[in-house]
């Protein structure tokens, strides 16, 4: 798989291992390594000792401090895993979701591969080949679509679905769980074996092997949990806080917007990510914060991933206090969103 420090040497002390939550890509592997192209969307920021940020980290960077956002996330005990199944979060990589990229004609897995690989070659939405500058290990991995080779690059749920289930998601509607499972904010293309090693672990149990990426990694976890109102255990919270102490200027990522449609069949995408300007991107905020488990309602909070969803629901404009209102939808902060 899910701002951060792209071309910014914040001294991010990051270590990314990889997380899976049963998220194997299923169409890519090893082949010829594509050359890194500095300054292009698909190129990682490489520093001494490893990768400090995945390409999408720079594109999604917000003005919100990850440390400040961490303070808005509720801390309480972990709920039981009872009832969890991957199917509770919908069909894997379904395009039928309300997250940015949903209903664009391509499945989520290929959306993220298109976004994160350098020099992606795409045919009918399916990524055929490309190079991944893996943020979790610092390695460059050649991806070639194939029944076996695809597993070399997998899509990680940065906040694992099993962890989400135990920190609030089991009380949500099916629609909201599908949105989380397919939200680009929570997804990164990574080394397959590292992703499998992570499993459903949170930051207290697992961090990326590349220490230079750990700040960006935990910042993304904070952003996802704050956005969806998921809580953290005290061990998870403390582990993240310790990492962010080494990079206090680390920014949390915000939504990068709807992934562009795939290039024409056989076309090579030199610059893979075509995202809207940050002005049109949803900003991560604590305004959508939900109560702690002891006080939360049995029904999940109303959540709109973007203003298009608000208008489709016939609820625009939203006023401060209306169900579904959050500051991330209110660009000018005047109390009226999606005018």
For the stretch 161-183, pLDDT in tens is 999 999 999 999 999 999 999 99
Residue 81: inside a domain? yes
Residue 68: CB atoms within 10 A of its CB come to: 14
Residue 237: inside a domain? yes
Residue 83: inside a domain? yes
Reported pTM: 0.65
Residue 2: inside a domain? no
Look at the chain and report how many structural domains it folds into: 1
Scan for tokens 């169900």, then name that residue. Answer: 323
Residue 95: give the domain boundaries.
Answer: 45-275
Residue 159: CB atoms within 10 A of its CB come to: 31
In tens, the pLDDT along 90-138 reads 999 999 999 888 999 999 999 999 999 999 999 999 999 999 999 999 9
CA-CA distance, 151 to 149, in Å (whole number)?
5
Residue 124: inside a domain? yes
Residues of 76-94 as b/e, b for ≥16 C-beta within 10 angstroms?
eebbeeeebeeebbbebbe
Residue 309: inside a domain? no
């Amino acid at each position: 798989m899910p701002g951060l420090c792209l071309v910014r040497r914040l001294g991010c002390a990051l270590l990314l291992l990889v997380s899976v939550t049963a998220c194997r890509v299923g169409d890519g592997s090893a082949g010829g390594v594509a050359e890194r192209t500095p300054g292009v969307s698909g190129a990682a920021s490489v520093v001494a000792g490893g990768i400090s940020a995945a390409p999408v980290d720079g594109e999604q960077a917000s003005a919100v401090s990850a440390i400040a956002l961490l303070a808005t996330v509720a801390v309480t005990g972990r709920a039981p895993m009872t009832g969890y199944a991957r199917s509770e979060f919908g069909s894997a990589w379904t395009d039928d979701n309300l997250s940015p990229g949903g209903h664009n004609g391509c499945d989520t897995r290929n959306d993220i591969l298109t976004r994160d690989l350098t020099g992606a070659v795409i045919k009918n939405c399916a990524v055929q080949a490309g190079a991944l500058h893996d943020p979790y290990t610092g390695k460059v991995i050649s991806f070639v679509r194939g029944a076996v080779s695809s597993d070399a690059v997998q899509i990680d749920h940065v906040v694992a679905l099993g962890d989400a289930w135990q920190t609030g998601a089991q009380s949500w509607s099916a629609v909201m769980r599908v949105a989380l499972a397919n939200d680009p904010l929570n997804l990164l293309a990574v080394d397959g074996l590292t992703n499998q090693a992570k499993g459903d672990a949170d930051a207290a149990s697992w961090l990326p092997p590349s220490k230079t990426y750990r700040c960006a990694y935990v910042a993304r976890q904070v952003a996802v949990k704050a956005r969806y109102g998921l809580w953290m255990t005290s061990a998870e919270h403390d582990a993240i806080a310790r990492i962010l102490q080494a990079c206090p200027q680390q920014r949390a990522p915000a939504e990068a917007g709807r992934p562009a449609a795939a290039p024409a069949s056989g076309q090579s995408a030199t610059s893979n990510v075509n995202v809207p300007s940050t002005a049109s991107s949803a900003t991560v905020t604590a305004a959508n914060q939900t109560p702690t488990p002891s006080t939360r309602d049995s029904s999940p909070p109303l959540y709109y991933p973007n203003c298009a969803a608000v208008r489709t629901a016939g609820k625009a404009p939203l006023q401060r206090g209306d169900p579904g209102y959050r500051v991330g939808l209110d660009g000018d902060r005047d109390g009226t969103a999606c005018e």
